[in-house]
Amino acid sequence: MTVNFGVVLLFLVACLAPYLSPSYFWPISFITLGFPFLLLLLVLFFICWLVFDYRYALLPLIALLLGWKSISSFIAFNMPATDKQVVNNPDNLNVMSYNVSQFGLYREKDSKYTRQAMFALIKKQQLDIACFQDFYTSEKKNDFNNREDISREMQLPYRYFSSDFNRDGMQHWGSIIFSRYPIIAADKVKMSAGPKSESLIYADIVRNGDTIRIINMHLESYRFNQKDYYSIEKIKKQEDTGLVATKGIVQKMRDAYIRRSQQADIVGDFIKQSPYPVIVCGDFNDTPASYTYFTIKGQLQDAFLKKGSGIGRTFGGLAPTLRIDYIFVDPGFRVNSFRKINSDLSDHYPVMVNLSTSGSAKAQVEVSK
């Protein structure tokens, strides 16, 4: 019973994450990272108590009910989509969000082939809007001008690129929005100070007389290096107590949680001020149980929760429960389908939605005009 009570306490603390910024209490972020395991333990306790002594089942049941907001953001309670459910109406909007990991730029041997495979995957989706994070492009001779190549090959002629980092004004890194439809305004907003900070970018597109704001971002990562990943693997395999390694890893995670919460506040305010219906894409580097998730989502629809199923893992490393890549849409849009593409070309999986514009979204556009 003592263990059950401890799990309930940690679970309820994790459920406070939507309301408590890591800037004020950063340990809560470490607890939310374990949210899926705490949830699983609570369900197991509930089932066991029902079998052995139903009176004690009330404790985990109450905790599950109190934590429903976090549970319902973590799990999509829909049946897996079939090919027949994928909507191909040409009047609808196909949107992809994808952390492309610089198209394999730093892979030792196969970066050229990784890029070719990623291009083929993206082209196959017949996108109207593509939001890429960790994007690389270059104007150097014998290098890859990914901006121009994607616009040409994917028939996405309009784009806006943050170019947050560059080398000699020729090689560029950042986030980018590609569009099949004209962009009438675009800009970037710095989400935090410092030379390594990235930008939120937005592009206002006009489609069938409607204006829609596309927002794309890549929030603060843990900035783990190869040594950190090696230490994590040793700890996971119990080859090392990890006392020295853990200290540095925890500090990096703490700093990232705090900075992401500050970035989330900026992004959330920016979304609220939009004069147009929004489609928000990004690699948040945070889970659906986090302050970051709830602050940015606000009143928007999480496309995965509308049409996805299960827990929707989007990151291939570290843990099997990490959904950190999202597409949120204005309530005026109808989410027709959601799809995650299981591809190991990047350490992130691309996510896609098919949207249609309902009358309410068009009404919002008319009011904004």
- At residue 358, the pLDDT reads 63
Average pLDDT, rounded, for the chain? 88
78: left (phi over 0), alpha (psi -120 to 50) or beta: beta
User: Bigger pLDDT: 167 or 93?
Assistant: 93
Q: Reading across the β-sheet that carries 210-218, which strands appear in turn?
A: 183-190, 199-207, 210-218, 278-283, 325-329, 301-302
Measuring CA to CA, how many Å separate 216 from each of 50, 61, 177, 301, 347?
46, 38, 7, 16, 19
Report the greatest alpha carbon distance in the chain: 73
Question: What's the pLDDT tens digit per position in 325-337?
Answer: 999 999 999 999 9
CA atoms within 13 A on the CB side of 121: 22
Question: What's the pLDDT tens digit per position in 247-302?
Answer: 778 888 899 999 999 999 999 999 999 999 999 999 999 999 999 999 999 999 99
Question: What's the pLDDT tens digit per position in 216-254?
Answer: 999 998 776 566 566 666 555 555 555 556 777 888 889
Q: pTM for this structure? A: 0.90
Cα-to-chain-centroid distance, residue 297: 11
Exposure string of 345-364, with b = 16+ CB inside 10 Å and e = fewer, is bbebbbbbbbbebeeebeeb
Question: What's the pLDDT tens digit per position in 6-28?
Answer: 999 999 999 999 999 999 999 99
- Under the banding of pLDDT at 50, 70 and 90, the label for residue 107 is low
Q: Are strands 210-218 and 325-329 parallel, antiparallel or unpaired?
A: unpaired
Question: 170 with 161: CB under 8 angstroms?
Answer: no
Tokens representing 280 are 């928000």
Question: 136 with 146: CB under 8 angstroms?
Answer: yes
The closest of 59, 28, 29 to 43, measured between CA atoms, is 59
Strand, helix or coil for residue 357: strand
Domains, the chain: 2-74 (no CATH), 83-368 (3.60.10.10)
Q: Is the pLDDT of residue 367 over 50?
A: no
- Under the banding of pLDDT at 50, 70 and 90, the label for residue 365 is very low
118 phi/psi in degrees, rounded to 5: -65, -40
d(CA 339, CA 296): 21
